[in-house]
Structure 1
Amino acid sequence: MNRVAAACLLSLLFAFAAPLRAQTVNTVRPMVAPKVANTVEIDYRAQWEQERAKNQQLREENAGLRAQLEAWTRKGGSLVHAYCETPTVSANSAGARNDCAASGYTCEPVSGLCRTSAVNSDQCAGGRVWCVYGNRCVRSAEECRP
Protein backbone atom coordinates (compact mmCIF):
# COMPACT_ATOMS: atom_id res chain seq x y z
CA MET A 1 0.00 0.00 0.00
CA ASN A 2 2.86 2.27 0.52
CA ARG A 3 3.70 1.90 -3.07
CA VAL A 4 0.21 2.86 -4.12
CA ALA A 5 0.21 5.87 -1.85
CA ALA A 6 3.59 6.93 -3.08
CA ALA A 7 2.49 6.57 -6.69
CA CYS A 8 -0.65 8.63 -6.04
CA LEU A 9 1.31 11.24 -4.27
CA LEU A 10 3.86 11.36 -7.05
CA SER A 11 1.19 11.69 -9.74
CA LEU A 12 -0.48 14.43 -7.77
CA LEU A 13 2.81 16.24 -7.48
CA PHE A 14 3.36 16.07 -11.24
CA ALA A 15 -0.20 17.24 -11.85
CA PHE A 16 0.31 20.41 -9.83
CA ALA A 17 3.97 20.98 -10.76
CA ALA A 18 3.33 21.40 -14.50
CA PRO A 19 1.16 24.55 -14.16
CA LEU A 20 3.53 25.97 -11.56
CA ARG A 21 6.49 25.50 -13.91
CA ALA A 22 4.59 27.37 -16.64
CA GLN A 23 4.37 30.51 -14.51
CA THR A 24 7.53 32.57 -14.58
CA VAL A 25 8.22 35.08 -11.92
CA ASN A 26 10.69 37.88 -12.49
CA THR A 27 13.20 38.11 -9.80
CA VAL A 28 13.43 41.53 -8.21
CA ARG A 29 16.83 42.71 -7.23
CA PRO A 30 17.17 45.19 -4.41
CA MET A 31 17.96 48.79 -5.43
CA VAL A 32 21.45 49.93 -4.71
CA ALA A 33 22.33 53.60 -4.34
CA PRO A 34 24.86 54.62 -7.01
CA LYS A 35 28.31 55.48 -5.84
CA VAL A 36 29.36 59.00 -6.79
CA ALA A 37 33.01 58.73 -7.62
CA ASN A 38 34.02 62.37 -8.04
CA THR A 39 31.92 64.53 -5.78
CA VAL A 40 32.72 68.22 -5.84
CA GLU A 41 33.41 69.82 -2.52
CA ILE A 42 33.30 73.61 -2.76
CA ASP A 43 35.63 75.45 -0.45
CA TYR A 44 33.73 78.69 -0.03
CA ARG A 45 36.38 80.27 2.17
CA ALA A 46 39.10 79.75 -0.47
CA GLN A 47 36.79 81.01 -3.20
CA TRP A 48 36.01 84.13 -1.14
CA GLU A 49 39.74 84.76 -0.62
CA GLN A 50 40.39 84.46 -4.37
CA GLU A 51 37.61 86.93 -5.17
CA ARG A 52 38.86 89.35 -2.51
CA ALA A 53 42.39 89.23 -3.95
CA LYS A 54 41.06 89.75 -7.47
CA ASN A 55 38.98 92.70 -6.27
CA GLN A 56 42.05 94.27 -4.63
CA GLN A 57 44.04 93.82 -7.84
CA LEU A 58 41.29 95.53 -9.86
CA ARG A 59 41.18 98.41 -7.36
CA GLU A 60 44.93 98.94 -7.74
CA GLU A 61 44.66 98.82 -11.53
CA ASN A 62 41.78 101.31 -11.43
CA ALA A 63 43.80 103.69 -9.22
CA GLY A 64 46.73 103.51 -11.66
CA LEU A 65 44.48 104.25 -14.62
CA ARG A 66 42.90 107.20 -12.80
CA ALA A 67 46.36 108.62 -12.09
CA GLN A 68 47.33 108.16 -15.73
CA LEU A 69 44.15 109.89 -16.90
CA GLU A 70 44.78 112.74 -14.46
CA ALA A 71 48.30 113.19 -15.87
CA TRP A 72 47.00 113.23 -19.43
CA THR A 73 44.21 115.72 -18.83
CA ARG A 74 45.92 118.27 -16.57
CA LYS A 75 47.34 121.46 -18.04
CA GLY A 76 50.20 120.48 -20.32
CA GLY A 77 49.00 116.89 -20.53
CA SER A 78 48.77 115.04 -23.83
CA LEU A 79 44.98 114.66 -23.79
CA VAL A 80 44.01 118.28 -23.28
CA HIS A 81 41.36 119.19 -25.85
CA ALA A 82 40.26 122.66 -26.89
CA TYR A 83 36.62 123.57 -27.47
CA CYS A 84 34.53 126.70 -27.99
CA GLU A 85 32.90 127.61 -24.70
CA THR A 86 31.07 130.50 -26.41
CA PRO A 87 31.37 131.89 -29.96
CA THR A 88 34.18 134.18 -28.74
CA VAL A 89 35.83 132.12 -25.95
CA SER A 90 38.15 129.15 -26.48
CA ALA A 91 38.65 126.77 -23.55
CA ASN A 92 40.38 123.45 -22.99
CA SER A 93 39.77 120.38 -20.87
CA ALA A 94 42.51 121.44 -18.45
CA GLY A 95 40.51 124.57 -17.57
CA ALA A 96 42.45 127.26 -19.48
CA ARG A 97 40.43 129.91 -21.33
CA ASN A 98 41.21 132.43 -24.07
CA ASP A 99 39.06 135.42 -25.14
CA CYS A 100 39.11 135.35 -28.94
CA ALA A 101 37.26 138.69 -29.16
CA ALA A 102 40.33 140.46 -27.75
CA SER A 103 42.15 139.72 -31.01
CA GLY A 104 39.05 140.50 -33.10
CA TYR A 105 38.10 136.97 -34.12
CA THR A 106 35.65 134.24 -33.11
CA CYS A 107 36.35 130.73 -31.89
CA GLU A 108 36.84 128.13 -34.65
CA PRO A 109 34.41 125.28 -33.80
CA VAL A 110 36.38 122.40 -35.39
CA SER A 111 39.68 123.00 -33.60
CA GLY A 112 38.27 124.86 -30.59
CA LEU A 113 40.98 127.52 -30.97
CA CYS A 114 40.73 131.24 -31.69
CA ARG A 115 40.85 132.13 -35.36
CA THR A 116 43.85 134.03 -36.70
CA SER A 117 42.29 134.95 -40.04
CA ALA A 118 38.80 135.25 -41.48
CA VAL A 119 37.07 134.64 -44.81
CA ASN A 120 33.92 136.67 -44.03
CA SER A 121 32.48 139.01 -41.39
CA ASP A 122 30.79 136.13 -39.53
CA GLN A 123 34.25 135.02 -38.39
CA CYS A 124 34.99 138.42 -36.86
CA ALA A 125 34.11 139.27 -33.25
CA GLY A 126 31.39 141.82 -32.46
CA GLY A 127 32.38 145.36 -33.44
CA ARG A 128 34.88 144.12 -36.07
CA VAL A 129 34.54 143.91 -39.85
CA TRP A 130 36.20 141.66 -42.35
CA CYS A 131 38.96 143.12 -44.51
CA VAL A 132 39.55 141.40 -47.83
CA TYR A 133 43.20 142.47 -47.78
CA GLY A 134 44.94 139.81 -45.70
CA ASN A 135 41.67 138.11 -44.67
CA ARG A 136 41.67 139.84 -41.32
CA CYS A 137 39.23 141.47 -38.96
CA VAL A 138 39.62 145.22 -38.37
CA ARG A 139 37.85 147.80 -36.18
CA SER A 140 36.67 149.95 -39.06
CA ALA A 141 36.66 150.01 -42.84
CA GLU A 142 39.32 152.76 -42.76
CA GLU A 143 41.83 150.28 -41.30
CA CYS A 144 41.33 147.96 -44.27
CA ARG A 145 44.13 148.86 -46.65
CA PRO A 146 46.23 146.75 -48.98
Structure 2
Amino acid sequence: MKRITCWALLAVLASAPLSAQNVTTVKPMVAPNVGAIQIDYRQQWEKEREKNRQLRDENARLQSQLAEWTRKGGSLVHAYCETPTLSVNSAGARNDCAASGYGCEPVSGLCRTSVRSSDQCAPGFLMDVDHCVPQPR
Protein backbone atom coordinates (compact mmCIF):
# COMPACT_ATOMS: atom_id res chain seq x y z
CA MET A 1 0.00 0.00 0.00
CA LYS A 2 2.85 2.32 0.75
CA ARG A 3 4.10 1.69 -2.73
CA ILE A 4 0.86 2.81 -4.39
CA THR A 5 0.68 5.90 -2.18
CA CYS A 6 4.22 6.91 -3.14
CA TRP A 7 3.45 6.45 -6.81
CA ALA A 8 0.22 8.39 -6.51
CA LEU A 9 2.02 11.18 -4.65
CA LEU A 10 4.76 11.28 -7.31
CA ALA A 11 2.15 11.45 -10.06
CA VAL A 12 0.39 14.35 -8.36
CA LEU A 13 3.66 16.24 -7.79
CA ALA A 14 4.82 15.65 -11.35
CA SER A 15 1.59 16.93 -12.81
CA ALA A 16 1.29 19.96 -10.53
CA PRO A 17 3.97 22.12 -12.18
CA LEU A 18 2.54 21.43 -15.64
CA SER A 19 -0.91 22.54 -14.69
CA ALA A 20 0.45 25.66 -13.00
CA GLN A 21 2.38 26.58 -16.16
CA ASN A 22 -0.65 26.19 -18.34
CA VAL A 23 -2.71 28.68 -16.35
CA THR A 24 -2.50 32.21 -17.80
CA THR A 25 -4.12 35.34 -16.61
CA VAL A 26 -6.06 37.09 -19.35
CA LYS A 27 -6.61 40.79 -18.89
CA PRO A 28 -9.35 42.45 -20.88
CA MET A 29 -8.17 44.70 -23.71
CA VAL A 30 -9.13 48.32 -23.41
CA ALA A 31 -9.84 49.99 -26.74
CA PRO A 32 -8.33 53.46 -27.21
CA ASN A 33 -10.70 56.37 -27.19
CA VAL A 34 -10.48 57.31 -30.87
CA GLY A 35 -12.99 60.09 -30.46
CA ALA A 36 -10.61 61.91 -28.09
CA ILE A 37 -7.91 62.26 -30.81
CA GLN A 38 -8.41 65.51 -32.70
CA ILE A 39 -6.15 66.34 -35.65
CA ASP A 40 -6.22 69.86 -37.02
CA TYR A 41 -5.35 69.17 -40.66
CA ARG A 42 -5.66 72.79 -41.65
CA GLN A 43 -3.07 73.81 -39.04
CA GLN A 44 -0.69 71.03 -40.19
CA TRP A 45 -1.11 72.10 -43.81
CA GLU A 46 -0.36 75.75 -42.95
CA LYS A 47 2.71 74.68 -40.96
CA GLU A 48 4.09 72.63 -43.89
CA ARG A 49 3.27 75.43 -46.33
CA GLU A 50 5.27 77.91 -44.22
CA LYS A 51 8.18 75.46 -43.99
CA ASN A 52 8.16 75.08 -47.80
CA ARG A 53 8.12 78.87 -48.25
CA GLN A 54 11.13 79.23 -45.95
CA LEU A 55 13.01 76.50 -47.86
CA ARG A 56 12.25 78.18 -51.20
CA ASP A 57 13.49 81.51 -49.84
CA GLU A 58 16.69 79.90 -48.53
CA ASN A 59 17.23 78.09 -51.85
CA ALA A 60 16.84 81.37 -53.80
CA ARG A 61 19.24 83.15 -51.43
CA LEU A 62 21.87 80.41 -51.79
CA GLN A 63 21.53 80.35 -55.59
CA SER A 64 22.01 84.11 -55.67
CA GLN A 65 25.06 83.85 -53.40
CA LEU A 66 26.58 81.12 -55.59
CA ALA A 67 25.94 83.16 -58.74
CA GLU A 68 27.66 86.18 -57.13
CA TRP A 69 30.68 84.12 -56.10
CA THR A 70 31.17 82.53 -59.52
CA ARG A 71 30.52 85.51 -61.81
CA LYS A 72 33.46 87.31 -63.41
CA GLY A 73 35.08 89.31 -60.67
CA GLY A 74 33.36 87.20 -58.01
CA SER A 75 35.14 85.97 -54.92
CA LEU A 76 35.11 82.31 -55.97
CA VAL A 77 37.17 82.63 -59.13
CA HIS A 78 38.04 79.50 -61.15
CA ALA A 79 40.59 79.09 -63.92
CA TYR A 80 39.95 77.11 -67.09
CA CYS A 81 41.67 76.48 -70.41
CA GLU A 82 39.92 78.48 -73.11
CA THR A 83 42.35 77.06 -75.71
CA PRO A 84 45.24 74.58 -75.36
CA THR A 85 47.59 77.52 -74.64
CA LEU A 86 45.31 80.14 -73.01
CA SER A 87 44.42 80.12 -69.30
CA VAL A 88 41.41 82.26 -68.32
CA ASN A 89 39.67 82.71 -64.98
CA SER A 90 36.06 83.56 -64.19
CA ALA A 91 37.16 87.08 -63.19
CA GLY A 92 38.18 87.64 -66.81
CA ALA A 93 41.98 87.55 -66.42
CA ARG A 94 43.89 85.85 -69.26
CA ASN A 95 47.32 84.28 -69.37
CA ASP A 96 48.98 83.21 -72.64
CA CYS A 97 50.83 80.04 -71.66
CA ALA A 98 52.53 79.84 -75.09
CA ALA A 99 54.55 82.96 -74.26
CA SER A 100 56.61 80.85 -71.84
CA GLY A 101 56.50 77.75 -74.08
CA TYR A 102 53.99 75.74 -72.09
CA GLY A 103 50.44 74.56 -72.67
CA CYS A 104 47.43 75.03 -70.42
CA GLU A 105 46.87 72.25 -67.85
CA PRO A 106 43.19 71.23 -68.24
CA VAL A 107 42.59 69.99 -64.67
CA SER A 108 43.70 73.17 -62.88
CA GLY A 109 43.11 75.57 -65.76
CA LEU A 110 46.54 77.14 -65.14
CA CYS A 111 49.64 77.31 -67.33
CA ARG A 112 51.97 74.36 -66.89
CA THR A 113 55.34 74.93 -65.26
CA SER A 114 56.78 71.47 -65.97
CA VAL A 115 56.01 68.80 -68.54
CA ARG A 116 56.27 65.04 -69.04
CA SER A 117 56.11 65.06 -72.84
CA SER A 118 56.47 67.50 -75.75
CA ASP A 119 52.68 67.30 -76.22
CA GLN A 120 52.33 69.45 -73.09
CA CYS A 121 54.47 72.22 -74.59
CA ALA A 122 53.09 75.03 -76.74
CA PRO A 123 53.44 74.70 -80.54
CA GLY A 124 57.03 75.42 -81.60
CA PHE A 125 58.47 74.10 -78.30
CA LEU A 126 59.87 70.71 -77.29
CA MET A 127 60.43 69.02 -73.95
CA ASP A 128 63.99 69.13 -72.56
CA VAL A 129 64.20 67.06 -69.33
CA ASP A 130 61.09 68.51 -67.63
CA HIS A 131 60.66 71.93 -69.24
CA CYS A 132 59.84 73.33 -72.70
CA VAL A 133 62.46 74.91 -74.95
CA PRO A 134 62.08 76.44 -78.44
CA GLN A 135 62.45 73.99 -81.32
CA PRO A 136 65.77 74.28 -83.12
CA ARG A 137 65.47 75.94 -86.55
Normalising by the residue count of structure 1, what TM-score does the alignment of the two structures yield? 0.53
> Please, which of 76, 82, 85 is the counterpart of residue 88 of structure 1?
85
Which of the two has higher C-alpha Rg?
A: 1
For 1:1-146, list aligned pairs within 5 A.
36=33, 39-92=36-89, 94=90, 96=92, 98-116=95-113, 118=115, 120-130=117-127, 135-138=131-134, 140-141=135-136
In structure 2, the gaps of 5 or more residues are: 1-30
Q: Distance in 2 between matches of 1:80 and 1:50?
A: 40
Q: Distance in 2 between matches of 1:106 and 1:79?
A: 24
Whether the 8 Å CA contact 2:113–2:131 is kept in 1: the answer is no
Amino acid at match of 1:90: S
Aligned length: 106
Amino acid at match of 2:69: W
Amino acid at match of 1:125: A
Q: Distance in 1 between matches of 2:46 and 2:73?
A: 42
CA-CA distance at 1:57 after TM superposition: 0.7
Q: Distance in 1 between matches of 2:32 and 2:128?
A: 96
* Aligned residue number for residue 9 of structure 1: none
Amino acid at match of 1:53: E
Q: Distance in 2 between matches of 1:69 and 1:52?
A: 26
Report the more deviating stretch, 95-104 or 38-47. Answer: 95-104
Secondary structure (helix, strand or coil) at the match of 1:141 reads coil
Q: 1:135 to 1:36 in 2, by over 3 A?
A: closer
Q: Distance in 2 between matches of 1:108 and 1:36?
A: 72
Q: 1:35 to 1:67 in 2, by over 3 A?
A: closer
Amino acid at match of 1:45: R
Whether the 8 Å CA contact 1:121–1:137 is kept in 2: the answer is no
CA-CA distance at 1:141 after TM superposition: 2.2
In structure 1, the gaps of 5 or more residues are: 1-33
Normalising by the residue count of structure 2, what TM-score does the alignment of the two structures yield? 0.56
